[in-house]
Structure 1
Amino acid sequence: MKKKKLSLIMLMMLCILWLPACQSDETQTPPSEKVSAEKKELMANHLPVDGFIENVGWLSNSEILSVKDEGGVTSFFIYNLYDGTSKKIYEVNSSYVTASISPDMKKIFIHSSPASYSAQVTIIDATGEIQFQKDVPSYELTHSWNQFSEDVLLMTSFSEDWSFQVFEINLENKTMNPIEVEQPFVQWQSESSILFQDWSSNELSVSAPLISQNILNNEKKMIVEDSVHFNQFDDSLLSVHSGEDRMPFTYQFIDTNGEIQSEFTVELLSRYSDWLIPYYDMIEKDGRLITFVANEPGSFDTYTGTFSLKSWDTVSGKENVLFEDLPLEPIQCSPDGGFCLYGNQLEKVIDLKKPNIIQLLKEEGADS
C-alpha cells in the first residue's frame, strides 16, 4: 500500500515538472491560439510626426510601410502597429514622389525625381534590396502591378504634352520593354491580357467601352459597352456604369466567366467634366468591397456633406453600414480585413470589427 502511494506522489511531481506533457489534447491551447490571445491592441499615437510624409500601405496584417523625411533624405520604414517597433529598409536622396506595394506584399515600387522631367524608378524587396532601377525621361508616371504574375508590371511614362509610352517591366529578366497600347491607363486582366477604357479622341465623354487586349498577339475584345470606371481584382472585375438619365450609377461585379456576380446602385457626386468615384478598397480574401458613399446628392465642387463607409459582399450582395458620418479620404485595408489605413496620408486606422478610428501619429511633446 505504501509503495502504491509513493508511486502516485512521484507521478504527481513529474506532472508538475512536465505540465504541458501531462495535459490532455482537449485542454492544451494550440500555438496559433496562444499567439492570438497574446496579441496586443494596435498602438495609438505612437508613430512620430516629426518628418512624417505618409504611410504607403500594408506589408502584412500587422506591419505597414511608412515614409519619413530625415534631413532631406527620404527613408522607408517597416512599422509594426502592435509593438511600435520600426526598421529602416531603404532611403532615396532625390525628390520622393510616390510609392506602392505589390499585391503579394513582397516588393515596393518607388518613384523619385532626380531632376525636372526625369523619373527614377526603383523596385525593392521588403528587406530593401534593389530588384530593378532605371532612370526614365518623364513628366509624370503611372504604374499597375500584375497580380497574376508578381514579377511583371506595367508603367506609363507621360511627356509634357501628355503623349505617352507604356512599358512592361519584368523583374525576373530585369527588362523594361515598350508595348503598343492605345490608351495610357491600363490594368492587368490576366498574365497576358490588359484592360483599358477606349476613350474617344474626338468628343468629351464620361464613359467609354472597356476593352481587353492580349499583349502577345494584340487581339482585342469589348468587355463592357459603357464603363465610367473599372478595377480588376483577383476573382472579379468592378465596372461602374450609368443609366440613360445618368442616375443612379451601378457598381457591377463580373466574375472570370463574364457573369454578373452582384451589383448595387448609388448616386455619385458630379464634377466639372465627370463623376466622382469615392475612395474604396477590396478585401480580396472574402470578396468584400469597402467604399464611401455620399450621404447627399449634389456637385462635389460645392459639397459640404459627409460620407458613409459601407461594406458590400460581392458574392451575396449583402450591404453593411460601418460609419455614417466621415470625411472622404483614401482608404486601404489589411489582407485579413480587420483594419483599414485611412486618411490623406493614411495616418489613421479604422477598426472594422468595433468599429472605431485609431490615430497613429504622436504629436511632438505628447506623452507616450
Structure 2
Amino acid sequence: MNKKKVNVLLFFLISILWLSACQTEQTQTSPPVKEKPENKEVVAGILAQDRFVENIGWLSDSEILSVQNDDDLSSLYIYNLYDGSNKKIYGIPSSFVSASISPDRKKILIHSAPASYSARVTIIDRAGEVLFQEDIPSYELTHSWNQFDDNALLMTSFSEDWSFQVFHIDVEEGTMDSIEVEQPFVQWQSKSSILFQDWNKEEISVAAPLISQNIQGGEKEMIVDTSVHFNQFKDSLLSIFSREEEGPFAYQFITANGEIQSEFTVDLLSRYSDWLIPYYDMIEGKGQLITFVANEPGSFDTYSGTFSLEEWDTVSGGENVLFEDLPLEPIQCSPNGDYCLYGNQLEKVIDLTDSTIIQLLKEEGADL
C-alpha cells in the first residue's frame, strides 16, 4: 500500500472517530425530555345545593370563592375545583348583598347591609383578615377596582333620588375620600386617572364621549368621541360603538398610547332604549376576549334565538367559535384561560380545552 492510500485511509478513520465522539457528546449533553404535566380535571358536584348562594370568581387557576349559607349567616369559602376541598375564611355578620375579587386576587370586597339605606364595605385578604371597613349611607352601591394599583378602588354611593357621591378608597392607608366627578359610573384608566362616559343630561342617548379625568388635578381629555360601552383592562381599552345608527357595532381595542390594536364587528340585539352588550370576560395573560354573540338579529325583548360563545384574540385579530348554542348567562374565566365559571350564579364550569360543561352543584340525593 503506497503512502497516499495510507493517508486517505487514516483520514477516513479519524473522521469516523470524530463523528462518533460528537454524537456521544450530543447525546450526553441533550436536555432530558420533560414529562407531560398531570392533567387536572374539575370535580363535579362539589357544592351543596341547599347551602349554595353564588360563586364570586377565581382566586387562582384552581380555586374559586363561593358564598354559602351557614344557618342564618352567609359565609365565604375557598373551593379547590381539582380535589373538591374547601375552607371557610369569613362569616358575614350582616345581610349579604354582593362581593368581588381584586385584580391581584389577594383581596375580597364584601358589600353587606346592616340596616335599610346603609351599606357596609368590608375588604378582607384571603385569610379572612379585615383590611378595611366602612359604613356608608346608601340606597345602591357600585365599585371599580384599580388594576394599576392593588390598594385603590372607586366607590359610588347612590341616594334614593339617584343623586350620587364618588369615593376614592385606599386600602393600605385605610382612607375613603370623596372626589368630584360628573358621572357616577367610573373606571380606572391608570394609577391617577379615571374614565367615564359624558352622557347628555338633557336628552336620552345610546352613546356618549369617553372622557379621561385626572383625580389629582382634575384635567380632562376626550379619549373616544362616541361609545356605547367601555371597559378598561390592564393592557388595553375596549370601546364599543357603531359607525351607523342601527349597527353593526365595532368592539375596538385601544392601547395605552391611543393606537387601535384590533377591531371586531358584530350585530347587537336592540332593547327599548339601548343595545344589549352580551356577557364577556377578558383573559388578560393571553389577550383573549371571551364573549357571547347573538346568532340572529332582532330585539332582545322578543329574542328566541341562541348565542354563540366566541374567542377573540385582541392582538392578532383572530376569531374562534367555542360553542354555537348556549344560553346567555354571566361568564368569568380563570387566569390561565383553561376554564370559565358560567351561569346566573356562576354554578357551572366551561372547560375551554375540550368544550364541555361541568355542573358544580351537587344534585339532590346524590353522593359526592
Same topology, TM > 0.5: yes
- Could you list the runs of 4 or more consecutive aligned residues of structure 1 that deviate by over 3 angstroms after TM superposition? 24-30
Are 2:95 and 1:106 equivalent residues in the alignment? no
How far, CA to CA, are the matches of 1:165 and 1:40 in structure 2?
46
Are 2:353 and 1:353 equivalent residues in the alignment? yes
1:305 corresponds in structure 2 to: 305
Amino acid at match of 2:189: Q
- Tell me the CA shift for residue 41 of structure 1: 1.4
Amino acid at match of 2:51: G
How far, CA to CA, are the matches of 1:364 and 1:106 in structure 2?
34
Structure 1 unaligned regions, length at least 5 = 1-23
How far, CA to CA, are the matches of 1:321 and 1:29 in structure 2?
34
1:280 corresponds in structure 2 to: 280
1:334 corresponds in structure 2 to: 334
How far, CA to CA, are the matches of 2:156 and 2:267 in structure 1?
32
How far, CA to CA, are the matches of 1:26 and 1:161 in structure 2?
72
Moved more, 67-76 or 243-252: 243-252
How far, CA to CA, are the matches of 2:43 and 2:275 in structure 1?
37
- Tell me the CA shift for residue 243 of structure 1: 1.9
How far, CA to CA, are the matches of 1:279 and 1:53 in structure 2?
21
The answer as to whether partners of 1:103 and 1:150 remain within 8 angstroms in 2 is yes
Give the CA RMSD over aligned residues: 1.3
1:202 corresponds in structure 2 to: 202
How far, CA to CA, are the matches of 1:132 and 1:277 in structure 2?
33
What does 1:142-181 correspond to in 2, within 5 Å?
142-181=142-181
Structure 2 unaligned regions, length at least 5 = 1-27
How far, CA to CA, are the matches of 1:48 and 1:26 in structure 2?
51
Amino acid at match of 2:295: N
The answer as to whether partners of 1:139 and 1:159 remain within 8 angstroms in 2 is yes
- Tell me the CA shift for residue 93 of structure 1: 2.3
What does 1:220-259 correspond to in 2, within 5 Å?
220-259=220-259
Q: SS at 1:205's partner residue? A: coil
Amino acid at match of 2:174: K
How far, CA to CA, are the matches of 2:328 and 2:64 in structure 1?
22
Amino acid at match of 2:106: K
How far, CA to CA, are the matches of 1:226 and 1:239 in structure 2?
9
Moved more, 234-243 or 39-48: 39-48
The answer as to whether partners of 1:146 and 1:152 remain within 8 angstroms in 2 is yes
How far, CA to CA, are the matches of 2:192 and 2:110 in structure 1?
24
Q: SS at 2:290's partner residue? A: strand
With over 3 angstroms needed to count, the CA separation of the structure-2 counterparts of 1:166 and 1:300, relative to structure 1, is same
Q: What TM-score, normalized to structure 2?
A: 0.91
Amino acid at match of 1:79: Y
Q: SS at 2:344's partner residue? A: coil
What does 1:37-52 correspond to in 2, within 5 Å?
37=38, 39-52=39-52
Are 2:64 and 1:71 equivalent residues in the alignment? no
How far, CA to CA, are the matches of 1:177 and 1:157 in structure 2?
12
What does 1:83-162 correspond to in 2, within 5 Å?
83-162=83-162
Amino acid at match of 2:42: L
Q: SS at 1:335's partner residue? A: coil
Amino acid at match of 1:64: I
How far, CA to CA, are the matches of 1:42 and 1:340 in structure 2?
11
The answer as to whether partners of 1:72 and 1:93 remain within 8 angstroms in 2 is no
1:344 corresponds in structure 2 to: 344
Of all paired residues, the percent bearing the same amino acid is: 72
1:189 corresponds in structure 2 to: 189
- 1:25-72 CA distances to partner (integer Å, 9 max, x unpaired)? 868676xx67x32x5411012221121000000000000000011111
1:21 corresponds in structure 2 to: none
- 1:118-154 CA distances to partner (integer Å, 9 max, x unpaired)? 0000000011000000111000000000000000000
Q: SS at 1:301's partner residue? A: helix
- Tell me the CA shift for residue 364 of structure 1: 2.5
How far, CA to CA, are the matches of 1:300 and 1:97 in structure 2?
27
How far, CA to CA, are the matches of 1:266 and 1:89 in structure 2?
42
The answer as to whether partners of 1:226 and 1:241 remain within 8 angstroms in 2 is yes
How far, CA to CA, are the matches of 2:315 and 2:363 in structure 1?
42
Q: SS at 2:104's partner residue? A: coil
- 1:90-113 CA distances to partner (integer Å, 9 max, x unpaired)? 011211100000000000000000
**Matched positions, count:** 341
The answer as to whether partners of 1:40 and 1:83 remain within 8 angstroms in 2 is no
- 1:292-345 CA distances to partner (integer Å, 9 max, x unpaired)? 000011111111111000000001000000000000000000000110000000
How far, CA to CA, are the matches of 2:244 and 2:295 in structure 1?
23
Amino acid at match of 1:219: E
